[in-house]
Amino acid sequence: MSPVDAYADPLAGIVLDGRYRVDTMIATGGMSAVYRGLDLRLDRPVAVKIMDSRYAGDTQFLTRFQREARAVARLAHPGVVAVFDQGIDGQHPFLVMELVEGGTLRELLRERGPMPPHAAAAVLGPVLGGLSAAHRAGLVHRDIKPENVLISDAGDVKIADFGLVRAVADAKITSTSVILGTAAYLSPEQVSTGDAGPGSDVYGVGIMTYELLTGRTPFTGDTALTVAYQRMDNDVPPPSSVITGVPPQFDELVLRATDRDPARRYADAEEMGEELAAIVEELGLPPFRVPAPQQSAQHTSAAMTAPPPPPMPPPPRQQTRAYERDELPEPEYDAPASRFAGIDIDEFYWARQRAKRALLFWFVAVLTLTGLVAAAAWTVGSNLPNLI
């Protein structure tokens, strides 16, 4: 499935079966779309997978769809996305599931690229654990791929979409889109005869392990069918032939899981999980918390449905107090500073007074001297003839 603009879909906002409100679209694929929704009765967020309307009139599909949903709902395992309800509303069969706040393994690979062995083991452990519970219950997933592995913001890893491929495959409507969409992970027997068992899920996990370690799938081609048929005549190469640093134990894990002969693979997910645990112990791989992708479609849909922040409350209004005349407060004044730059203000005052007196003294002295000079000059000028 691929993320889309939730507001472009006309189903957003409807209520299914009078209980499940459909909010924003998370992703869409060839046969269904996944929405973020709300269980109005229990007031809890849910994921709602709505099937294409072309399946509404297919009795065989609806029968298988209900049967598979009930079987998966009985699974109680932390590595499996819980199924809460299923039904049909008008022209849309739907499935109500646990909403995993986070993103898909595909989105994580796009953000971060290939994983080191300890991170890959942290992803594969819960996947194989969930598949083991399903295999013990007689269920086969049939569509193992990174898009169907969900990672929560808390680091939980879960498998989604159990049983849907079988329901679609048994329908009268062609399932070509389903096969083409998962061609990179199909086992040889699924390509040749359409049969699938626990070994088919093991093959899909082996291909996914190769991709986790190398960042790509082992087979490529111009068309999806070309990719699908390549595994009929070609073995999956060891991951270490593509990227350095892969321990030989992981090479052996991938090669056995993807053997073209189902009889030479691990019998089921439980046996492969035991082998993975032994490799982790042998290599001393550290525990690792798988991070959720940051730029995920689920996070985008959550942001679209988040309520706007409440407006800031206005500041509290202060009541005006009425004073009587004799209650009026005395005006407050700041006392003048007594010092400036470490010098008493009084020193500035007396220095200013002394400067004024000195200026006056010099003014009088200059005026007196000027008068004496003028008088002397006048006297000499008057008696100049007598002196001559």
* Nearest alpha-carbon partner for 187 in 286, 133, 264, 115: 264
Q: Where are the alpha helices (DSSP H) in 103-197?
A: 105-112, 117-136, 164-169, 176-181, 188-192
3-state secondary structure of 5: coil
Identify whether 261 is a catalytic site residue.
Answer: no
Instruction: For 278-315, write each residue's pLDDT tens digit.
Output: 999 999 999 999 999 998 888 887 777 766 667 767 76
- For the chain, give every domain's residue range: 6-298
Tokens representing 387? 């002196």
Residues 226-269 have pLDDT tens digits of 888 889 889 999 999 999 999 999 999 999 999 999 999 999 99
Q: Return per-residue pLDDT of the chain as tens, 388 residues.
A: 555 544 457 788 899 999 999 999 998 876 788 999 999 999 999 999 998 888 888 888 888 888 888 888 888 899 999 999 999 887 888 999 999 999 999 999 999 999 999 999 999 999 999 999 999 998 999 899 999 999 999 999 999 987 666 566 555 554 444 454 478 999 999 888 888 899 999 999 999 999 999 999 999 888 888 888 889 889 999 999 999 999 999 999 999 999 999 999 999 999 999 999 999 999 999 999 999 999 888 888 777 776 666 776 776 766 656 556 666 556 554 555 555 445 555 665 666 677 777 777 777 777 777 777 666 665 655 555 555 5
* Pure H helices in the chain: 59-73, 105-112, 117-136, 164-169, 176-181, 188-192, 198-214, 224-230, 248-257, 269-283, 297-305, 345-382, 384-387
Please report where in the chains the tokens 């519970």 appear, as a residue. Answer: 133
Q: Which of 23, 143, 161, 201 is catalytic?
A: 143
Specify the fold of 6-298. Answer: Transferase(Phosphotransferase); domain 1 (1.10.510)
| Nearest partner of 150 among 36, 296, 279, judged by Cα | 296
Radius of gyration in angstroms for the set of CA atoms belonging to the chain, rounded to a whole number: 43
C-alpha 242/C-alpha 202 separation (Å) is: 22
